[in-house]
Chain A
Amino acid sequence: MNFLEFDAQDRAIVNRLQNGLPLVLHPYAAVAEELGVSEEELLARLTRLRDSGVLSRFGPMYHAERMGGGLTLAALAVPEADYERVVEILNNVPEVAHNYRREHTLNMWFVLATESSERIPQVVTDIEVATGLPVFNMPKEREFYVRVHLSV
Chain B
Amino acid sequence: MSEFICPSDINKTGATSLDERDRAIVLATQEGLPLVADPWAAVGEQVGMSGNEVLSRMQTMLERGVIRRIAAVPNHYRLGYVANGMTVWDVADAEVERLGREVATIEGVSHCYQRPRHRPYWPYNLFAMLHGRTREDVERQAQVLRDCLGDACHDHRILYSTRILKKTGLRLTGKDAQTVSTENDARG
Whether the pair B116, A97 counts as a contact (CB closer than 8 A) is no
* CA–CA, A103 and B157, complex, Å: 10
Decide: A147 near B3, CB < 8 A? Known: A18-B74, A63-B67: yes
Q: For this complex, into which size category does the number of interface residues on chain A fall?
A: 35 or more
Total A-B pairs in contact (CB under 8 Å)? Answer: 289
Which of A46, A57, A99, A148: most chain B CB closer than 10 A?
A57
- How far is the CB of A131 from the nearest CB of chain B, in Å? 8
- Tell me the residues in window 22-75 of chain B with beta carbons closer than 8 Å to chain A beta carbons: 26, 29-33, 35-40, 55, 58-59, 61-62, 64-75
Determine the main DSSP class of B at the interface with A: mixed
Whether the pair A68, B18 counts as a contact (CB closer than 8 A) is yes
Interface string of B141-174 (1 = CB under 8 A from A): 0000000000000000101111111111111110
* CA–CA, A25 and B101, complex, Å: 36
Instruction: Mark B residues whose CB is within 8 Å of A.
Output: 1, 3-9, 11-12, 14-18, 26, 29-33, 35-40, 55, 58-59, 61-62, 64-76, 78-81, 86, 96-97, 100-101, 103-105, 109-116, 118, 121-122, 127, 131, 157, 159-173, 177-178, 181-182, 184-186, 188
Instruction: Mark A residues whose CB is within 8 Å of B.
Output: 1-4, 13-14, 17-21, 23, 25-29, 39, 43, 46-47, 49-50, 53-69, 73, 87, 89-104, 106, 108-110, 113, 115, 117, 123, 126-127, 130, 136-150, 152
